[in-house]
Amino acid sequence: MLRALIKKEFSQIFRNPSIIRMMLAAPIIQLIIIPLAADFEVKNINIAVLDWDHSTYSEKIVNRMGASGYFVIKEVAHSPEEAQAALDHGTVDLVVEIPARFERELVREDEAKIFLRADAVNGVKAGLAMNYSGQIISQVNQEIRQDFVQFPRFSPVPTIDISTRFWYNPDFNYRHYMAPGILALLLVMVGSMMCALNIVREREIGTMEQMNVTPVKSYQFLLAKLIPFWIIGLVSLTIGLTVCYLVFGLYPLGSYLTIYLFAMVFLIASLGIGQIVASFSENQQQATLFSFFFMMMFVLLSGLYTSIESMPDWARYLALANPVSHFVDVMRSVMLKGSNFYDLQHRFWALVGFAVLFNAIAVLNYRKRAG
Amino acid sequence: MITVQNISKTYNKGAVKALDNINLEIQRGELFGLIGPDGAGKTTLFRILATLLVPDQGTATVNGADVVRDYKAIRRTIGYMPGRFSLYPDLTILENLEFYAAVFGTTIAENYAQIKPIYSQIEPFKHRRAGQLSGGMKQKLALSCALVHQPDVLLLDEPTTGVDPVSRQEFWDMLQLLQKTGLTIVVSTPYMDEADRCDRIGLIQKGKMMSVNTPQGITSGYQPDLYAVRSSNMYQLITDLRQLDGISTCYAFGEDAHVSVASNSGLNAPAMEAFLKQKAHNNIQITPIAASIEDCFIELMR
């Protein structure tokens, strides 16, 4: 009986070109486009320079900013109005204003002022722009001081030299950070959305009712939906991992076995979500809306785009109740850190818990007849 | 074979009364027709008998099994065909049939004799997808799928709705053929002209079973005198007749107006003709006729 159900499911899936396309194209397109485009590093901050001083020091600051790689000197303004207009039009993100007699005051009074104005519509960008320019200016300041201050043999103030190194992602490659997360996203899509739409379609065309008058038990019906999408999910994951290797040269430092083991359990949990969505939807439109809502919540709170550590407490607890966040963490740990099963044991049992819980709700919710 | 006792069912928390205290008994081997307009409660009754819906009140049994308690047993013994075509459009005829056979733990080969009269008609197209079939062929496929596990009872909910007249005739021929194999068949239909194809019929309206009898029994039980009346101005004819004392109903029926007159009212054809002449009607024809099922239905609805 189960074999017949699964066989039917597969022949339907292979006749539905949109499922095949989703299965093959989605991992490839998502993996290539999203990590390349969604880059959090802020580069190319456009600045306008309003230099009233035209001194060696002011020039030094401007040159240093231009050479830092973060800034592009887009405009050299000649009046505050001109600079403000550039900021208003959005042609520049930051205005660096160096007042007249900057150099003289720095030398004579030991103190000088620089005025920075940033377009804070994009808060992250403005913050980073301020940060970077602050660093550059204080660096220049340091150098200038060293030029004309005679230091004693030992520095009167002890200095700490900081050297940094980025572990697990030595090049600080954003793509390597994103790609494992996207793989996780892919599995939720296959699991919850495709599975939910498939079940609801049966309700829509009336075959569900026809099934309900047969001796097919509800667990058999749901299992027959689960297994094909479980397999499709694993195929998608394989395609995704291949793309990761071919396009980004990224392969897991840990074992593929660990990844697949977690993916198998995670897929069951996702399929459970899909079945719950299906049990609450009358038609495919409702199912799409429901699963879209779930996906948004799960994905945005998963730590895929924003780190969970920087969320408020309540959101962090919410993330604990989110299977996607566990799996995103697993994927990153295995791919980038080479974590093994024992390191991630707690995640494994959490995912097993979700898988059992969601599927139990789904089976209980699936009624073969109306009251 | 099927008993229905005091079944009631409401929807929307009692706001809509779909079935109101229905009683019914259907014998083994009978071809039973459930006849009534849209919204009469036919589908609700079918869904209860098919164990898809739990009644609010009353009990029903199919082949001795209770529809609420022994629903599992019933699901093995019935073939249910819902009103809407609900097979997999992306599977072929053969795949659909194979699938439904497998779901009941059997094969097409084992039951070929049972489905042959119907399936053989669509077998030449067995590799065509169900979604691309014509209405009549879909009907035959659905019937084949409902038969493939050798059920004792066939529940067919409005199988001929939206089907062309020729296919409808064919479909009823097939049902009568199946009945000969010993199947109990319950069919619902909004078409009164199909009533004569049934052994017995139940007339249902607004959730109430108005009458259960053989088609002849129902028509012969028709009390009033019935006339088919015709004149050149149909609309005026009906309005005028409705004002005449002694006429209980008057309604358009094809090209005629059917007029029922209570036997004790003393009104007869010559009196009616005189009245119509006085109302300046031309080409008046008044013929006494025997009642059809539809006339009985209208009489019962009063």
Do B128 and B274 lie in one domain? The reply is no
- Partner residues linked to A46 by β-bridges: A72
Identify the pLDDT of residue A211.
87
- Distance from the Cα of B86 to chain A's closest Cα (Å) equals 5
Do A361 and A315 lie in one domain? The reply is yes
Residue A349 lies in a domain: yes
Do A246 and A361 lie in one domain? The reply is yes
Q: With bands split at pLDDT 50, 70 and 90, how would you rate the model's confidence at A113?
A: confident
The C-alpha atoms of residue B69 and residue B66 are separated, in whole angstroms, by 5
Residue A11 scores a pLDDT above 70: yes
Residue A169 lies in a domain: no
Identify the pLDDT of residue B66.
93
The CA distances from residue A301 to A145, A287, A320, B65, B75, in Å, are: 47, 21, 10, 52, 45
Residue A155 lies in a domain: no
Domain that holds residue A137: 45-148
Gyration radius of chain B's alpha carbons: 23
Gyration radius of chain A's alpha carbons: 28
Identify the pLDDT of residue A108.
82
- The answer to whether A160 contacts chain B (CB < 8 Å) is no
Cα distance from N-terminal residue to C-terminal residue, chain A: 27
Q: With bands split at pLDDT 50, 70 and 90, how would you rate the model's confidence at A15?
A: confident
**Number of Cβ atoms within 10 Å of the Cβ of A188:** 27
The C-alpha atoms of residue A43 and residue B172 are separated, in whole angstroms, by 77
Comparison of pLDDT for A363 and B158, the residue scoring more: B158
Give me the residue from B51, B91, B99 closest to A213, CB to CB.
B51
Residue A308 lies in a domain: yes
- pLDDT tens profile B255-284: 888 988 888 877 888 888 888 888 888 888
Q: For Cα atoms A307, A313, A316, give the angle at the middle one, nearest 5 degrees.
A: 45
Do B200 and B99 lie in one domain? The reply is yes
Do A134 and A212 lie in one domain? The reply is no
The C-alpha atoms of residue B193 and residue B208 are separated, in whole angstroms, by 21
Identify the pLDDT of residue A365.
80
> Is the entire prediction scored with pTM above 0.90?
no
A-B contacts at Cβ under 8 angstroms: 66
Do A55 and A30 lie in one domain? The reply is no
- Distance from the Cα of B297 to chain A's closest Cα (Å) equals 31
The CA distances from residue B278 to A23, B256, B275, in Å, are: 81, 20, 5
Mean pLDDT of B1-16: 89
CATH number of the structural domain spanning residue B69? 3.40.50.300
CA dihedral A274, A278, A280, A284 (to 10 degrees): 120
Give all strands of the β-sheet with B225-230 in edge-to-edge order. B247-253, B256-261, B225-230, B285-288
- Partner residues linked to B204 by β-bridges: B209
CATH number of the structural domain spanning residue B295? 3.30.70.100
Q: What is the ipTM of this complex?
A: 0.78
Do residue B54 and residue A1 have CB atoms under 8 angstroms apart?
no
| Among A148, A168, A193, residue at a domain's last position | A148
Do B215 and B234 lie in one domain? The reply is no
The total domain count for chain A is: 2
- The answer to whether A20 contacts chain B (CB < 8 Å) is no
Do B147 and B250 lie in one domain? The reply is no
Do A50 and A17 lie in one domain? The reply is no
At A242, the amino acid letter reads: T
Do A187 and A255 lie in one domain? The reply is yes
Residue A162 lies in a domain: no
Residue B243 scores a pLDDT above 70: yes
CA dihedral A236, A237, A243, A245 (to 10 degrees): -160
Q: With bands split at pLDDT 50, 70 and 90, how would you rate the model's confidence at A371?
A: very low
Give me the residue from B72, B76, B84 closest to A206, CB to CB.
B84
- The candidate with the shortest Cα–Cα distance to B95, out of B134, B126, B138, B132, is B126
Report residue A66 as tokens: 């231009």
Do residue A371 and residue B84 have CB atoms under 8 angstroms apart?
no
Do A32 and A60 lie in one domain? The reply is no
Do residue A213 and residue B85 have CB atoms under 8 angstroms apart?
no
- Partner residues linked to B8 by β-bridges: B57
Q: With bands split at pLDDT 50, 70 and 90, how would you rate the model's confidence at A258?
A: very high
The C-alpha atoms of residue B78 and residue B145 are separated, in whole angstroms, by 12
Residue A167 scores a pLDDT above 80: no
Q: Which of B9, B69, B86 should one mutate to test binding to chain A, selecting the residue with the greatest count of A CBs within 10 A?
A: B86
The total domain count for chain B is: 2
B272-278 contacts, C-beta under 8 A, 24 or more apart: B272/B227, B272/B229, B272/B241, B272/B244, B275/B240, B275/B244, B276/B229, B276/B231, B276/B237, B276/B240, B276/B241
Percent of chain A with pLDDT over 70: 91
The C-alpha atoms of residue B75 and residue B54 are separated, in whole angstroms, by 14
With a CB cutoff of 8 Å and minimum separation 6, the contacts of A245 are A251
B148: chain A residues, CB-CB within 8 Å: none
Do A76 and A189 lie in one domain? The reply is no
Do B13 and B149 lie in one domain? The reply is yes
- Distance from the Cα of A214 to chain B's closest Cα (Å) equals 6
SS3 A51: strand
A3: chain B residues, CB-CB within 8 Å: 102
Do A335 and A295 lie in one domain? The reply is yes
Do B103 and B182 lie in one domain? The reply is yes
- Distance from the Cα of B29 to chain A's closest Cα (Å) equals 21
Q: How far is CA B234 from the centre of its chain?
A: 30
Do residue A212 and residue B52 have CB atoms under 8 angstroms apart?
yes
The C-alpha atoms of residue A232 and residue A254 are separated, in whole angstroms, by 23
Cβ atoms of B176 and B156 closer than 8 Å: no
Do residue A8 and residue B99 have CB atoms under 8 angstroms apart?
yes
Residue A133 lies in a domain: yes
Do B267 and B172 lie in one domain? The reply is no
- Distance from the Cα of B169 to chain A's closest Cα (Å) equals 25
- The candidate with the shortest Cα–Cα distance to B39, out of B221, B261, B204, B195, is B204
- pLDDT tens profile A184-232: 888 888 888 888 988 898 888 888 888 888 888 888 888 898 999 999 9
Identify the pLDDT of residue A231.
92
Do B7 and B55 lie in one domain? The reply is yes
Do B131 and B63 lie in one domain? The reply is yes
Give the residue carrying structure tokens 């719950």. A276
Report residue A108 as tokens: 């004579």
Do B274 and B203 lie in one domain? The reply is no
- The candidate with the shortest Cα–Cα distance to A359, out of A299, A282, A270, is A270
Do A203 and A338 lie in one domain? The reply is yes
Residue A153 lies in a domain: no
Do A306 and A188 lie in one domain? The reply is yes
The C-alpha atoms of residue B128 and residue B90 are separated, in whole angstroms, by 9
Give all strands of the β-sheet with B31-35 in edge-to-edge order. B78-81, B153-157, B184-189, B31-35, B200-205, B208-213
Do A184 and A306 lie in one domain? The reply is yes
Identify the pLDDT of residue A264.
95
Do residue A8 and residue B88 have CB atoms under 8 angstroms apart?
yes
CATH number of the structural domain spanning residue A58? 3.40.1710.10
| Among B219, B251, B283, residue at a domain's last position | B219
Percent of chain B with pLDDT over 70: 100
| Among A111, A131, A148, residue at a domain's last position | A148
Mean pLDDT of B180-195: 90
Give me the residue from B53, B91, B104 closest to A215, CB to CB.
B104
**DSSP sequence for chain B:** -EEEEEEEEEETTTTEEEEEEEEEEE-TT-EEEEE--TTSSHHHHHHHHTTSB--SEEEEEETTEETTTTHHHHHHHEEEE-SS--S-TTSBHHHHHHHHHHHTT--TGGGHHHHHHHHHHHGGGTTSBGGGS-HHHHHHHHHHHHHTT--SEEEEESTTTT--HHHHHHHHHHHHHHHHTT-EEEEEES-GGGGGGSSEEEEEETTEEEEEE-HHHHHHT--SEEEEEE-S-HHHHHHHHHTSTTEEEEEEETTEEEEEE-GGG---HHHHHHHHHHTT--S-EEEE----HHHHHHHHH-
| Among B175, B195, B219, residue at a domain's last position | B219
Identify the pLDDT of residue A160.
67
| Among A130, A148, A166, residue at a domain's last position | A148
Residue B52 scores a pLDDT above 50: yes
Do B28 and B126 lie in one domain? The reply is yes
Do B94 and B195 lie in one domain? The reply is yes
Comparison of pLDDT for A258 and A173, the residue scoring more: A258
- The answer to whether A215 contacts chain B (CB < 8 Å) is yes
Q: Which of A203, A208, A210, A220 should one mutate to test binding to chain B, selecting the residue with the greatest count of B CBs within 10 A?
A: A210
The C-alpha atoms of residue A139 and residue A136 are separated, in whole angstroms, by 5
Cβ atoms of B214 and B60 closer than 8 Å: no
Q: With bands split at pLDDT 50, 70 and 90, how would you rate the model's confidence at A170?
A: low
Identify the pLDDT of residue A250.
86
- pLDDT tens profile A25-66: 878 888 888 777 766 666 778 899 998 888 888 888 888 888
Percentages of chain A per state (helix, strand, coil), in multiples of 5:
65, 5, 25
- Distance from the Cα of A184 to chain B's closest Cα (Å) equals 31
Number of H-type helices and E-type strands within chain A: 15, 4
Residue A22 scores a pLDDT above 80: no
Identify the pLDDT of residue A272.
92
Domain that holds residue B156: 2-219
Give me the residue from B86, B103, B105 closest to A206, CB to CB.
B86
Mean pLDDT of A354-368: 84
| Among B219, B235, B257, residue at a domain's last position | B219
